[in-house]
């Protein structure tokens, strides 16, 4: 009741207030400080990555020859354009390793996202239909693992999935299998790791869209003779679509560039781009090539990231 009364008045003040405030020095400071911080520490670094991806590898510290350096003055800067080399990008297209790593990463992230959705949906649905009194507790139980270290949660699976690990011990003891399963250091282990680590990211947006749903719609459909599964696909799922999209993007985008999971659970046989970039940087010390790998990865992810931002902006609008 209080909500309904408060809604129009807060909408009015929201329109008046910015004009009233906008003149102050403090207000400008509020905008400028985080703005400059993000420009300098988020945007400028990308420009540097792009610049270094066009330079040549050198044995020195830092291990590349600088290009487009303002140290040579403006004319030197423009002269530098002639020296730009796209060798690192040509290199990426010539070596099938990189192409395969990109494609494999996209496929693994895609499959993992679908698996996470399949695992997460029933949990979110069950939570949304739970009695209102226990919902906050259930919500906290989903969030709690997210607070414990990502590295630790991935590490915990090594002990479970090892050939002599707990899963195989249980399966052998119950007689379900006679030979230990090889799961660690395969793509299966990566799927398990991603689904496990990113599950809260899927469940939370799903839950928030399912919780808002009007369940009398389903009762109405069932009264009219629609079977439960039909009602699910015709009503529940379409209404939860914003949550599905948000959850899938929150899982898919970071999963493409994931390093820890493929490195610890996937072993040396599996190929993902985050791991390739890491090895290029730390093992081969080839900064220009790893920069080129990062630039391409960023380009590949531009479209899903823009979708994500639109979804965020839309959610923000609805929140108001």
Partner 1 sequence: MNGTWSRFNITSIVLGFAFLYLPIVLLIVFSFNESKLVTVWGGFSTKWYVSLFHNQGLMDATWVTARVGVISATVATVLGTLAAITLTRYTRFKGRVLFSGMVFAPLVMPEVITGLSLLLLFVAVGLDRGFFTVTLAHITFTMCFVAVVVQSRLVSFDRSLEEAAMDLGAPPVKTFFQITLPVILPAIISGWMLAFTLSLDDLVVASFTSGPGATTLPMKIYSQVRLGVTPEINAACTILIAVVAIGVIIASIANKRREVQRQRDEQAAQRG
In 3-state terms the chain splits into helix, strand, coil percentages (rounded to 5) of 75, 0, 20
Among candidate residues 46, 89, 51, the one with its CA nearest the CA of residue 69: 51
What is the rounded distance in angstroms from the CA atom of residue 190 to the CA atom of residue 45? 30
Pairing mode, strands 64-65 and 56-57: antiparallel
Examine residue 164 and tell whether it contacts partner 1 (CB under 8 A). yes
Of 58, 84, 107, 166, the one binding partner 1 (CB under 8 A) is: 166
Which range of residues in 77-85, 110-118, 234-242, 287-295 is near partner 1 by CB under 8 A? 287-295
Examine residue 233 and tell whether it contacts partner 1 (CB under 8 A). no
Q: How buried is 101 (Cβ within 10 angstroms: 0-12 exposed, 13-18 middle, 19+ buried)? A: buried
Using the minimum distance from each CB to partner 1, give the nearer residue, 8 or 225: 8
Report the nearest approach of partner 1 to the CB of residue 259 (Å): 5
Which range of residues in 71-79, 95-103, 231-239, 284-292 is near partner 1 by CB under 8 A? 284-292
Examine residue 132 and tell whether it contacts partner 1 (CB under 8 A). yes
Examine residue 138 and tell whether it contacts partner 1 (CB under 8 A). yes
Report the nearest approach of partner 1 to the CB of residue 220 (Å): 14
Contacts of partner 1 in 18-47 (CB under 8 A) = 18, 20-22, 24, 26-27, 30-31, 33-35, 37-46
CA dist list (Å): 8 to 5, 11, 212, 313: 7, 5, 21, 22
280 close to 286: Cβ distance less than 8 angstroms? yes
Examine residue 94 and tell whether it contacts partner 1 (CB under 8 A). no
Using the minimum distance from each CB to partner 1, give the nearer residue, 10 or 75: 10
Examine residue 207 and tell whether it contacts partner 1 (CB under 8 A). no
Residue 260 phi, psi (nearest 5): -60, -45
């Amino acid at each position: 009741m209080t909500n309904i009364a408060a809604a129009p008045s807060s909408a009015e003040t929201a329109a008046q207030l910015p004009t009233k405030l906008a003149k102050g020095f403090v207000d400008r400071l509020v905008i400028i400080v985080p703005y400059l911080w993000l420009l300098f520490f988020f945007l400028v670094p990308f420009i540097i990555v792009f610049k270094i991806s066009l330079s040549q590898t050198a044995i020195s510290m830092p291990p590349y020859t600088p290009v487009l350096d303002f140290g040579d003055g403006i004319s030197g800067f423009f002269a530098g354009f002639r020296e730009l080399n796209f060798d690192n990008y040509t290199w990426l297209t010539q070596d099938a390793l990189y192409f395969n790593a990109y494609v494999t990463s996209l496929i693994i992230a895609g499959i993992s996202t679908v698996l996470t959705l399949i695992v997460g949906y029933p949990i979110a649905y069950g939570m949304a239909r739970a009695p209102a009194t226990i919902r906050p507790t259930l919500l906290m139980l989903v969030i709690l693992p997210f607070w414990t270290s990502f590295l630790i949660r991935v590490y915990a699976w090594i002990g479970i999935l090892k050939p002599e690990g707990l899963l195989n011990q249980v399966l052998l003891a119950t007689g379900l299998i006679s030979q230990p399963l090889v799961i660690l250091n395969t793509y299966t282990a990566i799927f398990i790791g991603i689904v496990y680590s990113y599950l809260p990211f899927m469940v939370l947006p799903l839950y928030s869209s399912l919780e808002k749903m009007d369940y009398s719609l389903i009762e109405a459909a069932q009264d009219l003779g629609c079977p439960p599964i039909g009602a699910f696909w015709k009503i529940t799922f379409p209404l939860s679509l914003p949550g599905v999209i948000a959850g899938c993007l929150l899982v898919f985008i970071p999963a493409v560039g994931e390093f820890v999971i493929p490195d610890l659970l996937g072993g040396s046989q599996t190929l993902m781009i985050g791991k390739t970039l890491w090895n290029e940087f730390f093992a081969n010390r080839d900064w220009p090539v790893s920069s080129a790998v990062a630039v391409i990865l960023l380009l590949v992810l531009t479209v899903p990231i823009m979708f994500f931002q639109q979804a965020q902006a839309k959610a923000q609008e609805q929140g108001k």
